[in-house]
Amino acid sequence: MKNLTIGFIGTGKMGEALIRGIISAGLVEPARVYASDIDEQKLNMLTEELGIMVSTDNGVTIKEADVIILAIKPQIIRYVLKGIKESIIKKHLFVSIAAGVNIDSLADELPGGTRVIRVMPNICATVGEAASAICPGDAATEADVETARKIFNAVGRTVVVDEHLMDAVTGLSGSGPAFIFIIIEALADGGVHQGLDRVTAQTLAAQTVLGAATMVLESGQHPGELKDMVTSPGGTTIQGIEALETSKVRAGVMSAVIAASERSRELGK
């Protein structure tokens, strides 16, 4: 990785999060990171804070970089790719995080045989805890996939999936943070109902969700096993679980993921 030059077309929230993540992780030196955008103020801030190379010309990024991260809105991706197509050469690996734009659509705008990888990260990249799904195109190599994993592992955790599962990824990890924010808010509301002040309740709720998630990831145990560790016979937790099941919380969360996945599928048609 240290010998690669990484370019970013687009420096919005996700692009900036990735730039900060790869530099913080020491994947490459700041001088080997190029970024282009129409927002000169944002570019100036990034070069002053991080020491990366910046330009308002996408052609500069294409010329200098080996790996190109397309961190732009899906509505403009075809326009951007048409503008850089003549500058693309064999060394380039394109990694797109444009939501809903499939690999075939990307390939149609790129020279034949261009290596393409599609990635679906989520908003938690902004705090270094993204869940990112990686889907390689036909021309991408195992080494390309490993490069993508290293980049996105710098801002969280990654999985590799087939492209037909990307709508499920969107419904689960793409939309999932919003579902968890609602759960955290509801936990805090319960604490406030029982007499805690709002700040204390919200801190306890958020840390509880963070701790529970960390236990799942680090222990490798099934969530049901971990749930049983907390649930004593006739105790407080089983009483609360009964209330959750009566309210059909489990079914509601499943339905949210399914509905979001189906909507992603509709939007991609």
DSSP letters spanning 194-251: TT--HHHHHHHHHHHHHHHHHHHHHH---HHHHHHHH--TTSHHHHHHHHHHHTTHHH
pLDDT tier for residue 35 given thresholds of 50, 70 and 90: very high
Task: Provide mean pLDDT across the span 4-28.
Answer: 95
- Shared domain for 51 and 96, answered yes or no, is yes
Residue with tokens 């079914």: 251
- Shared domain for 121 and 202, answered yes or no, is no
Range of the domain at 92: 6-166
pLDDT tier for residue 3 given thresholds of 50, 70 and 90: confident
The predicted structure's pLDDT at residue 213: 97
Cβ proximity of 15 and 70 under 8 Å: no
> Is the pLDDT score of 59 beyond 90?
yes
- Shared domain for 181 and 202, answered yes or no, is yes
Task: Provide mean pLDDT across the span 182-209.
Answer: 98
> Is the pLDDT score of 269 beyond 80?
no
Residue with tokens 């222990």: 219
Per-residue pLDDT tens for 211-264? Answer: 999 999 999 999 999 999 999 999 999 999 999 999 999 999 999 999 999 998
> Is the pLDDT score of 268 beyond 80?
no
- Give the global pTM: 0.91
Task: Provide mean pLDDT across the span 150-168.
Answer: 96
**The token pair that represents 138 in the structure block:** 């036909």
Which CATH number is 29's domain given?
Answer: 3.40.50.720
Task: Count the domains in the chain.
Answer: 2
Which CATH number is 180's domain given?
Answer: 1.10.3730.10
**Burial class, 204, CB count within 10 angstroms (exposed 0-12 / middle 13-18 / buried 19+):** middle
**Residue 52: which residues within 8 A CB-CB, separation 6 or more?**
19, 23, 30, 31, 33, 34, 35, 46
CA dihedral 102, 104, 106, 112 (to 10 degrees): 160
Euclidean distance between CA atoms 25 and 248, whole angstroms: 42
Picking from 121, 146, 166, the residue at the C-terminal end of a domain is 166
Cβ proximity of 166 and 120 under 8 Å: yes
Euclidean distance between CA atoms 44 and 243, whole angstroms: 53
- Shared domain for 56 and 183, answered yes or no, is no
The predicted structure's pLDDT at residue 99: 86
Axis crossing angle, helix 40-50 with helix 13-24, rounded to the nearest 10: 10
Cβ proximity of 226 and 235 under 8 Å: no
> Is the pLDDT score of 20 beyond 80?
yes
Euclidean distance between CA atoms 67 and 215, whole angstroms: 34
Task: Provide mean pLDDT across the span 145-171.
Answer: 96
Per-residue pLDDT tens for 78-103? Answer: 999 999 999 999 999 999 999 889 99
The predicted structure's pLDDT at residue 265: 87
Distances (CA, A) of 211 to 34, 193, 203, 205, 226: 36, 23, 12, 10, 12
Cβ proximity of 130 and 157 under 8 Å: yes
1 within domain boundaries? no
43 within domain boundaries? yes
- Shared domain for 159 and 44, answered yes or no, is yes
The predicted structure's pLDDT at residue 1: 75
